[in-house]
Amino acid sequence: MYQSTIYRPNGKLSAPMRLVTMKPTSVIIMDTHPIIRMSIEVLLQKNSELQIVLKTDDYRITIDYLRTRPVDLIIMDIDLPGTDGFTFLKRVMLPTY
């Protein structure tokens, strides 16, 4: 946990303040093309507030993952083998998938 000193507009010091650390945003990358997955991963790794939890080309692997733990963001291809992105989203948005 970090501490920081806050200066008030009048120039006086306020009491030390503890900064709250937030958990990173969990991200799934789901795309059929390995180069696209890798490119997205490289871009996202530049932001320490994002944590890639799964990279896959198979929507079924993503569904299995989502059954066991929540995720904050899914970056995905619209054209997936065996389904399309819209059907996938409808499926995972249901209370029981």
Tens of pLDDT, residues 41-61: 999 999 989 999 999 999 999
When pLDDT is averaged across residues 30-46 and rounded to a whole number, the result is 96
CB 47 within 8 A of CB 22: no
- HSE (side-chain half, CA atoms, 13 Å) at 43: 9
Cα–Cα distances in Å, from 20 out to 11, 13, 17, 74? 24, 20, 9, 26
C-alpha–C-alpha distance, residues 28 and 88, integer Å: 14
| CATH class in words for 22-93 | alpha beta
Nearest of 65, 73, 67 to residue 44 by alpha carbon:
73
Instruction: Report the first-to-last Cα separation within the chain, whole angstroms.
Output: 38
Helix (H) or strand (E) holding 64: helix 59-68
Indicate the pLDDT class of residue 13, thresholds 50, 70 and 90. low
Q: What pLDDT was estimated at residue 1?
A: 44
